[in-house]
Amino acid sequence: MALSTPISQMSVSFLTGVDGSTRSMIKVQSISFTEKSWSPLLGLDSKSRSLGVKKQSTICMSLQQASKSKVLVTPLELEEPKETPLNLYKPKEPYTATIVSVERIVGPQAPGETCHIVIDHDGNVPYWEGQSYGVIPPGENPKKPGAPHNVRLYSIASTRYGDSFDGKTASLCVRRALYYDPETGEEDPSKAGVCSNFLCNAKPGDKVKITGPSGKIMLLPEDAPKATHIMIATGTGVAPFRGYLRRMFMENVPNFKFDGLSWLFLGVANSDSLLYDEEFAGYLKDYPDNFRYDKALSREEKNQKGGKMYVQDKIEEYSDEIFKLLDNGAHIYFCGLKGMMPGIQDTLKRVAEERGESWEQKLTQLRKNKQWHVEVY
C-alpha cells in the first residue's frame, strides 16, 4: 500500500496473515511515506520519550511498503556511536524485554512453522544491522539443575530502528524446532527446541530475557554506498539481510544513501516457505537497478542437472557474474544452517577451477580484503 499524503486520526487494517486474514488493527497519527517524517518519532533521549507513543501503535512495515517513497527516520543517537554496540547485557544480567507481537509468516504448505517476532527493548539494547540477540528461555537447564537455560543466539531481522522506526524494538525470525521420531514419525515434545517454541508460543506482553547485541562479522559496511553486496541465505538465515534491505530501500536515513547493488539468493523448500517475499518483491519493482532477487525452491524447482534446486545451484548459474563482482570488490555474505556451506564451497571451488583459478588463494584474498562474511549455526 503506497501512501503519498499524510493521514490523520485514521484506523488502518493491514493484511499480514498468510491466509489473507486481517491480523492487526492499529491507529496512527500524521503518517507520511514521502520525504516527510513519520510523527511522532522517538529518539533515545528522555525528552523524546516523554512524547509517549502507546505500545499498541507499533507498526510492522513489511508487506505494505510498495513504492519508492521511504520512511524518514530521525537518526539521533542510533547513527552517532563510533564503536559497535557489543554485549551491553550479558547472560548473568540479561535485559528483560517485552514481546510486542508474534506472527506466522509462512504458508500452510511450508514444512514447519516460522514466526516473525517483535520485541520491545525500549531503546535500551541498541544494535546495528547484522548483529544478534541472545535469548534465555524461562525454566531450568536440565543439564545444570538450578541454573537457567543457556543463551540461544538469533540474528536480528530489523534495522536499528526496528519495525516501528523509533529505535525501541527488534525483530527476530524464528523457526519452531520440532523433533519427530524416525521410527514412528510422531512428534516428540520432550525433544522440541526449548527457545524457539517459547518464542513462537509467546503472547504480546510476555517478558523475554535478552543479551547482547553480539557479532561484528556480518555488519553492513556503509563507508562505500556504491558497493555490491551478494547475500546468500537458507531459511531464517535471511534475517540479517532483511535488516540490510530495509535500511537500503525502506528507510530514508539522512546520512546513509545506498546507490550500489544488493543481490539476494534465498533457498527454501517451496513457495509457502518464502520469508518476507512480498517485501523483497517490492524492492525489486521499485529499485531494479539496485536490487536483484533469486530464489531456490528445492521441492518445486529442478537444477540444470535435473536434481533439486538448492541455493548453491543458483550461485552456479550466475557464477561468472558473481566472480567478476567479487574481483571488483563485492562483499559476499552467507547466513543459515551450517550444512549449507560445504555445498556452496564445493560449487565455488569447482567454478574457480573451471576459470583456471585457485579457490583457496581466492578465498584467502577475499578474507584479507574483508569481503567474506559467514554466520552459520
Q: Which residue has the cell 492487526?
A: 24
Query: Where does a domain end: 160, 188, 213?
Result: 213
Residue 353 annotated among the catalytic residues of the structure: no
Q: What's the rounded Cα separation, in Å, for the pair 272 and 282?
A: 18
Q: Which of 188, 213, 238 is the last residue of a domain?
A: 213
Tens of pLDDT, residue by residue over 241-296, are 999 999 999 999 888 899 999 999 999 999 999 999 999 999 999 999 999 999 99
Q: Averaged over 331-342, what is the pLDDT? A: 93
**Do 278 and 242 belong together in one domain?**
yes
Neighbours of 203 (CB within 10 A): 8
pLDDT surpassing 50 at residue 199? yes
How large a percentage of the chain has pLDDT more than 70? Answer: 80
- What is the mean pLDDT of the segment spanning 60-78? 64
Catalytic residue among 127, 154, 276, 287: 154
Are 155 and 161 in contact, with CB atoms under 8 Å apart? no
Residues 274, 161 share a domain: no
Local confidence band at 233 (pLDDT 50, 70, 90 cut-offs): very high
- What is the domain-level CATH number for residue 328? 3.40.50.80
State the amino acid at position 377 in one-letter form: Y
To the question of whether residue 175 is assigned a binding role by annotation, the answer is yes
Question: Are 28 and 38 contacting, i.e. CB atoms less than 8 angstroms apart?
Answer: no
Burial of 329 (0-12, 13-18, 19+ CB in 10 A): exposed
pLDDT value at 29 more than 70: no
Is 337 part of any known ligand binding site?
yes
Q: Are residues 131 and 266 in the same domain?
A: no
155 is in an annotated binding site: yes
User: Which range of residues forms the domain containing residue 159?
Assistant: 76-213
| 187: annotated active-site residue | no
Burial class (CB in 10 A: 0-12, 13-18, 19+), 245: buried
174's grid cell: 524464528
Q: What phi and psi values does residue 235 have, to the nearest 5 degrees?
A: 55, -130
Residue 97 sits in the same domain as residue 177? yes
Question: Nine-digit cell at 281?
Answer: 518483491
The β-bridge relationship of strands 291-297 and 261-268 is parallel
C-alpha cell at 79: 547513527
Structural domain contains residue 5: no
Q: Check if 293 is active-site.
A: no
Residue 196, C-alpha cell as written in the block: 524457539
Kind and range of the H or E run holding 13: strand 10-14
Q: What is the pLDDT of residues 151-195, one digit of tens each?
A: 999 999 999 999 999 999 999 999 998 777 677 777 667 677 899
Catalytic residue among 48, 62, 155, 164: 155
336 is in an annotated binding site: yes
Q: Apex CA 343: angle with CA 262 and CA 129, to 5°?
A: 35
Residue 96 lies in a domain: yes
Asked if 335 is an active-site residue, the reply is yes
Say whether both 209 and 258 belong to one domain: no
Ligand-binding site membership of 308 (annotated): yes
Please say if 154 is a catalytic residue: yes
Asked if 284 and 277 count as a contact pair (C-beta separation under 8 A), the reply is: no
